[in-house]
Amino acid sequence: MNAEPRMQNAEISERRRSAFCILHSAFDRGGLPLLVGIIAVILWHAAVRFSGTKIFPSPIDVAQAIGQLADQSLLWRYIGDSLARVACGYTLAVLLGVPLGILLGWYPDAGRAVNPLIQILRPISPLAWMPLAVIWFGVSNVAPIFLIFLASFFPIVVAATHGVRTVPPMFLQAGKNFGLTAPQLMARVVVPAVLPRIAIGLRVAFGVAWVVLVASEMIAVDSGLGYLIIDARNAGKRYDLVVAGMLIIGVLGLILDMILRRAESWASERR
């Protein structure tokens, strides 16, 4: 007689636990980071207010500065210019770096021949190339695109090369046993196997490229978020605009990193 009510109670309890797990997971993904951000803003405002500083801006000052940029139609222009430059340099590095890295990993003799040159150029900071980039390309979009390309290219090549060299030999042998030719083996076995490592390399390379973008825009061009920061510093010491530019750079970097994380997860699932 009591079996059915007990089953109903157990079902209700299970639904409640499922709902709690869903809410807890959603809070971990979105609510907890939002809460940390709110606390950080409150602490920032309190520090500025109680210190009595007249130089460092409060969150309200920064919000007003962002609104001012939007009213002057500079906000979206600067964001668009920065995104366009990083997209050009980074895409070029991907299109050249991934195939080159796969080939260097696939042909060990070629890898050994080119590796010393890569290891010489790779540790050189892309910012060290800035004076030469300005001489070669002038104050134009080409200079920061070139620096972004350098920042992205070598991490991508190294990640792709290492990925190919770590493909399990049994995968290759199995492909050969099925009669796959070298191009087919590359397309059906090697490339899917190295996708996760390449995805990690792409994410790391983009982080470096984003930092180099901001630094290059402070010298080599007259627009973009990096230019906004240095121009606000030099033109009247507008530290509210300086911090506004820094926050915009950080938020955009977070959004782009989330996109690359999704791509990385997709590549891991495809393996």
pLDDT tens, position by position, 126-147? 889 988 988 888 878 898 999 9
Hey, how many other C-beta atoms are within 10 angstroms of the C-beta on 139?
A: 11
Confidence label for 158 from pLDDT (cuts 50, 70 and 90) = very high
Q: Write out the two tokens for 59.
A: 């969150």
Average pLDDT value for residue range 250-261? 88
Clarify whether residues 13 and 122 are in a common domain. no
Lowest mean pLDDT among 15-29, 154-168, 233-247: 15-29
Beta carbons within 8 Å of 114's beta carbon, 6+ residues apart: 104
Predicted pLDDT at 23: 47
What's the domain range around 12?
Answer: 1-53
Clarify whether residues 109 and 197 are in a common domain. yes
Q: Write out the two tokens for 55.
A: 């130089």
Which of 4-13, 86-95, 105-114, 254-263 shows the highest mean pLDDT? 86-95
Q: Which of 9, 33, 53 is the last residue of a domain?
A: 53
What is the CATH number for 183?
Answer: 1.10.3720.10
Give the residue among 216, 44, 36 at the shortest CA–CA distance from 126.
216
Task: Tell me which DSSP letter residue 129 carries.
Answer: G
Predicted pLDDT at 152: 94
Q: Return d(Cα 99, Cα 97) in angstroms, integer.
A: 6
Confidence label for 196 from pLDDT (cuts 50, 70 and 90) = confident
Whether residue 93 is predicted with pLDDT greater than 90 in this model: the reply is yes
Clarify whether residues 83 and 38 are in a common domain. no
Based on the number of CB atoms within 10 Å of its own CB, is 145 exposed (0-12), middle (13-18) or buried (19 or more)? Answer: buried
Average pLDDT value for residue range 235-259? 88
**Total number of domains constituting the chain:** 2
Average pLDDT value for residue range 147-166? 91
Clarify whether residues 136 and 249 are in a common domain. yes
Q: Return d(Cα 76, Cα 14) in angstroms, integer.
A: 49
Clarify whether residues 220 and 90 are in a common domain. yes
Whether residue 258 is predicted with pLDDT greater than 90 in this model: the reply is no
Predicted pLDDT at 74: 86
Confidence label for 155 from pLDDT (cuts 50, 70 and 90) = very high
Confidence label for 8 from pLDDT (cuts 50, 70 and 90) = low
Clarify whether residues 90 and 34 are in a common domain. no
Clarify whether residues 16 and 141 are in a common domain. no
Clarify whether residues 46 and 175 are in a common domain. no
Whether residue 212 is predicted with pLDDT greater than 80 in this model: the reply is yes
Clarify whether residues 10 and 106 are in a common domain. no
Q: Return d(Cα 153, Cα 98) in angstroms, integer.
A: 9
Phi, psi of 54 (to 5 degrees): -105, 0
Average pLDDT value for residue range 235-258? 88
Confidence label for 271 from pLDDT (cuts 50, 70 and 90) = low
Clarify whether residues 176 and 47 are in a common domain. no
Whether residue 20 is predicted with pLDDT greater than 50 in this model: the reply is no
Does residue 69 contact residue 241 with C-beta atoms inside 8 Å? yes
Confidence label for 9 from pLDDT (cuts 50, 70 and 90) = low
Q: In percent, how much of the chain has pLDDT > 70?
A: 87
Clarify whether residues 157 and 262 are in a common domain. yes
Clarify whether residues 151 and 71 are in a common domain. yes
Mean per-residue pLDDT of the chain: 83
Predicted pLDDT at 52: 80
* Residue in the structure block whose two tokens are 């809070």: 27
